[in-house]
Structure 1
């Protein structure tokens, strides 16, 4: 279940209440007149089955609620309600599988913002990956991949294409380009400092590395793993199940490849640079393609589910009106 908290201008409240009250997926509905001071108007609270949230949110947006008021969406957590159970049963599909596009899009904007935190995390992750390469440590490579924040921006590329958000597409591309550039620059400076201090030599970078050699030797499996990992990551992000994200972070070598580029630049090893650039581009491209394809498939599937749900809701409303009409007819209840 999801909870909707709507700040509605007074002139839209009647239309909002009519939209919510006529939908069988809404199990609870409350209106507090005059409770909203900014914007001035009313506060409306509703509980809705997650599977039906997209339809309701789209209809509220058609009313223009988001322009003068606001719509907040939050998971209900644990709940006990026979009405809510009935609402879920009337909404086709599974709540855990359903995609709430407003939530996914908002998350994509937040994850792809090239802010200080994003740049700091990608720089720290690249530094750790650089140390992992020098020490030939798989444990440190995994740690660097978990810290890296780039998957959110890569997933945002797919969201932008599927939902046709050109601003989000540009923001995600800027975040990725700037993030990797900053991470590589910071790691290059650190590698140059380590080289000047005599802590690291060219031999450390060019030596045979059985545990981390895959970072600069891309092959077809690199692309296949990126496709599978991104599909799993997008499913985890868009559904109510988020346990698979850590597996995505440690499956692809974007951050380690960026770190190896930095080491190659610092120590003048072009073959390391070129192999790592290929690895980085291959992984980012594979993840972006798989993310877009997964989101597109979800949009098609849930679009059809929403169409079926709308037809069901229309039939239920028609039956309810028929029952009310028959009950109000004189003599309908018997002599």
Structure 2
């Protein structure tokens, strides 16, 4: 269940209540007249089954309440109520399969911003990957995969492409386009300092076979894994299965490839540096393509389901 709170002008309150009363899957309706201070208005609250939330939000946004008032949506962890059970039973579909498009746009929009925190995580992840490379430690490479924050912007690019939200695409592309090069530059500087300080030996690195060589060895399976990870990641983001994202982070070699490329460039192994860069590009492209395809399929399914139920297609936002 999701908790919905609406601040609306008093003259639209009855219309809002009508939408919620008519919606299959809405319950626990509460009206607080005049409780809204900024923006001013009445406060209407309700609990809505996840599978019914998107249609309710579409009708509320059509009333311009996102401009003239406020609409807030929160996840309810536990709801002990027979009314809530009936609402979930009445709502069409399954909550785990439902996509709340406004929630998805808000989530990916937030995670796609080039912020100091995003850049810090990206840089730390690349540094961890570099340590894994020079110490031949697959465990450290896996740690770098988990720390890397790159899936958020990649998912935002997919969402922006499918829903034609070019602001999301631009913002996410900026995060990726600046985040990776800057993190690689810092990593290269750290690698140069490490070699100068004797932390690792150039000849040993260039001449030996390593357990982490899979990072730069680009091939057909690089694309296959990226496609599978992108599909799984988008399914996790558009459903109630967000725990699956951890597996997505571990399965792709985006950050490790960036870290390997930086170290190899500093040590003069330009072949490995180029292969690592190719691995990075293949992973980024594969994730976006698969995520966009999964989202497009889910969008079409929801669009036609909504048209059949309400006589109107789902808006693209």
- Please give the TM-score of this superposition, normalised by the length of structure 1: 0.90
| Corresponding residue number in structure 2 for 1:280 | 280
Root-mean-square deviation (CA, aligned residues, Å) is: 1.3
| Corresponding residue number in structure 2 for 1:332 | none
The unaligned stretches of length 5 or more in structure 2 are 312-317
- Higher mean C-alpha deviation, range 216-225 or range 201-210: 201-210
| Corresponding residue number in structure 2 for 1:42 | 42
Highest CA radius of gyration, 1 or 2? 1
User: Are 1:33 and 1:43, in contact at CA under 8 Å, matched by a contact in 2?
Assistant: yes
- Higher mean C-alpha deviation, range 266-275 or range 171-180: 266-275
TM-superposition CA deviations, 1:283-303 (whole Å, max 9, x none): 000000000001111111122
Q: Is residue 81 of structure 1 aligned with residue 81 of structure 2?
A: yes
Rounded Cα–Cα distance in structure 2 between residues aligned with 1:204 and 1:300? 54
User: Are 2:24 and 2:52, in contact at CA under 8 Å, matched by a contact in 1?
Assistant: no
| Corresponding residue number in structure 2 for 1:19 | 19
- Residue 95 of structure 2 aligns to a residue whose secondary structure is coil
| Corresponding residue number in structure 1 for 2:147 | 147
Displacement after TM superposition at 1:264 (Å): 2.1
The unaligned stretches of length 5 or more in structure 1 are 312-335
TM-superposition CA deviations, 1:9-58 (whole Å, max 9, x none): 22322221221122232122111110000011111001111101111101
Rounded Cα–Cα distance in structure 2 between residues aligned with 1:283 and 1:213? 16
Displacement after TM superposition at 1:217 (Å): 1.2
TM-superposition CA deviations, 1:121-150 (whole Å, max 9, x none): 010010010010111111000000000000
TM-superposition CA deviations, 1:209-230 (whole Å, max 9, x none): 3411111110000100011111
Aligned residue runs from structure 1 range 113-152, under 5 A: 113-152=113-152
TM-superposition CA deviations, 1:50-84 (whole Å, max 9, x none): 10111110110010000011111111221122222
Aligned residue runs from structure 1 range 3-14, under 5 A: 3-14=3-14
TM-superposition CA deviations, 1:75-120 (whole Å, max 9, x none): 1221122222222222221101111111111110111111011000
| Corresponding residue number in structure 1 for 2:51 | 51
User: Are 1:51 and 1:98, in contact at CA under 8 Å, matched by a contact in 2?
Assistant: yes
| Corresponding residue number in structure 2 for 1:269 | 269
| Corresponding residue number in structure 2 for 1:31 | 31
| Corresponding residue number in structure 1 for 2:233 | 233
Aligned residue runs from structure 1 range 197-236, under 5 A: 197-236=197-236
- Higher mean C-alpha deviation, range 173-182 or range 71-80: 71-80
Displacement after TM superposition at 1:273 (Å): 1.3
Rounded Cα–Cα distance in structure 2 between residues aligned with 1:12 and 1:92? 27
TM-superposition CA deviations, 1:222-279 (whole Å, max 9, x none): 1000111111111111111122111111101000110111112212221011101110
User: Are 1:157 and 1:288, in contact at CA under 8 Å, matched by a contact in 2?
Assistant: yes
User: Are 2:158 and 2:289, in contact at CA under 8 Å, matched by a contact in 1?
Assistant: yes
- Residue 97 of structure 2 aligns to a residue whose secondary structure is coil
- Please give the TM-score of this superposition, normalised by the length of structure 2: 0.95
Residues paired across the two proteins, number: 311
Rounded Cα–Cα distance in structure 2 between residues aligned with 1:65 and 1:118? 32
- Higher mean C-alpha deviation, range 247-256 or range 299-308: 299-308
| Corresponding residue number in structure 2 for 1:90 | 90
Judged with a 3 Å threshold, the aligned counterparts in structure 2 of structure 1 residues 155 and 248 are, in CA distance, closer, same or farther, namely same
Displacement after TM superposition at 1:157 (Å): 0.8
User: Are 1:9 and 1:68, in contact at CA under 8 Å, matched by a contact in 2?
Assistant: yes
Rounded Cα–Cα distance in structure 1 between residues aligned with 2:63 and 2:219? 51
